[in-house]
Structure 1
Amino acid sequence: MEISVRTPAVEPRAMWSHSCTLDDLVTPYAVDPTVVARLEAGPGWARRWTAVWRASRARVVCPVPDLADFPTLASAPVRSFTWQARQRHRPGLQFVLATSRMHGFESLEERRLLLALDFTGGIEEVLSQPFKLRFTAIGGGEDHTPDFLVLLNGTAVLIDVRPGHRVKDKDLVKFAAAERAAASAGWRYLVVTGWRRHVAAGLDALSARRRPMADRLGLHDELLEMVAERPRRFGDLVEATSLPAVARAHAVHLL
């Protein structure tokens, strides 16, 4: 059985780009309460659910309530990233400026999330395929490996990435289990099924200019002085500079 995730028709309110969070960029998704009811809920369930980490070439098992106490920075991806001919997914490595390292991804949608994380701020660490969650549902024991664990200042966000049209019934149960496990550890949980309008194009445009850029003509200061006076439309700002053709690239870089 395949479940479609519908995007709300209502457009989000206008907001300044510097105040956007990841929640403002992704398509809203909420775990269905009827799916949550399919999970084990008896006394002591949290001690019976476990997370399997990979550290120092060994596998470490801990109960779900102890997730937040595990030394995450000493862990490695619990599942290896593989490349082979005719595989149906697209794995790779994405450089994240917030960590100054390459991070593994298993699909192009996961790569886009890694790119978006660079623009949300407050990121301390990103762990790909952090652990394998072993939980119990009505049909028996199941496994699920979340896609990313993002460490923030004093908290963390557990994230799964799955395009809305590819979310199936078995995925819903795993999402519900991951959300419950994250809550038990005091973390947030997020499912990225898609992006709001213009987000993908905006991220691609901004990321193309996020590397260091030489400013031999002093256009950075010229642009900053003009926007310090009052907000300006991008086109008007660029045209008001001494060299609009070059200032456009510098303005995008500053964004």
Structure 2
Amino acid sequence: MGTAVAAPVRLSVRRGDESVVEDLEWPSVPLGLLREARPWRTFRWYKGQQHYSGTYWSATVGDHVIYESRLELGRLLFADFDPAVRHIVAQPFLLKADVGRKVRKHIPDYLLVTDDGPVIVDVKPRHRLKKPEVAFTFAWTREAVASRGWRYEVWSEPDPHVLENVRFLAGYRRAWLFDPDLVAALRAADLDGMSLGDAFRLLPAEWPRPLVQSAMLHLLWSGHVTTALDRPLSAAHVLRRTA
């Protein structure tokens, strides 16, 4: 079956007040409307369910964002950690298109508003990507998204070390928990090329070491410094300044 998408591509959006706007034409839908969209689906927890749903407090959004699986939570963590991502919307709309003489419908998992433009994301385990129905849906969705000049991404399991490091650093994402004077002092220090362990020992006379350690990990989360995340984080990791 072909995946040629016949115009017009349409979508429906759930507004912040829970009202639904139906059959908007995809090329002209304002990004501002999608930024404020509420998740298209609601989910329930029930005994015996096969997936893990929940809400995650996003530092990027300053509010909770939903996910419907642990894999979706992983993508959400990566988006929150990425300094190029400015906003995150879960299940931003219901997309409808005429494909193969039938009306097809699909709800993408996330809309990311980034410095490089909007990105529509679908999350799916790698072993399911070759299923014909999944491949077909993602193919016509990619074509529809690209018709507006936006990026489309299918995201599967990441490097497990990177995921665990990002998950660990997410514990330090809430900026208001850190003394601004301590954070400013660390930002002013020459951290480039320093090991993480040495950075933990900075400013010993002024601040208790646990506070310095947590503030340093916050700087890693916020992107002021970076380090290799493809192996378990340790005191030997070398820091690189980004700003």
**Could you tell me the TM-score, scaled by structure 2's length?**
0.74
Q: Supply the AA of the counterpart residue of 2:7.
A: A
Which AA in structure 2 matches 1:134? K
Tell me the equivalent position of 1:72: 34
In the TM superposition, what is the alpha-carbon distance from 1:219 to its structure 2 partner?
6.0
Q: Deviations over 1:16-51 (max 9, x none)?
A: xxxxxxxxxxxxxxxxxxxxx82125xxx221x322
The percentage of counterpart residues that share the same residue type is 26
Letter of the 1:102 partner, please give it.
H
**Is 1:209 the counterpart of 2:172 in the alignment?**
yes
Give CA-to-partner distance per residue, 1:107-166, whole Å, 9 cap, x none: 111122222222212434322111122234448432211001122357311010112123
User: What is the match of residue 217 of structure 2?
Assistant: 252
CA–CA distance in structure 1, aligned partners of residues 104 and 93 of structure 2 = 14
Q: Contact between 2:3 and 2:100, CA under 8 Å: does it hold in 1?
A: yes
Tell me which moved more, 117-126 or 191-200.
Answer: 117-126
Which residue identity does 1:201 align to in structure 2? Answer: E
Corresponding residue to 1:195 among 158, 165, 182? 158
The change in CA–CA distance for 1:202 and 1:59 in structure 2 (over 3 A counts) is same
Alpha-carbon distance between aligned partners in 2 of 1:164 and 1:139, rounded to the nearest angstrom: 29
Q: Post-superposition shift, 1:198?
A: 1.9
Matching residue's letter, 1:188: R
Specify the alignment match of 1:46 in structure 2: 7
Distance change in 2, residues 1:100/1:247 (3 Å): closer
Q: Contact 1:39 / 1:136 at 8 angstroms: preserved in 2?
A: no
In the alignment, is the contact (CA less than 8 A) between 2:4 and 2:140 conserved in 1? no
Moved more, 129-138 or 183-192: 129-138
Give 1:179 shift.
Answer: 1.2
Deviation at 1:103, TM superposition (A): 1.2
CA distance in 1: counterparts of 2:19 and 2:202, whole angstroms:
58
Contact 2:7 2:98 in 1 (8 A): no
RMSD of Structure 2 on Structure 1 (CA): 2.9
Greater length-normalized contact order (CA 8 Å, ≥ 6 residues apart) = 1
| Aligned length in residues | 213
TM-score (ref. length: structure 1): 0.71
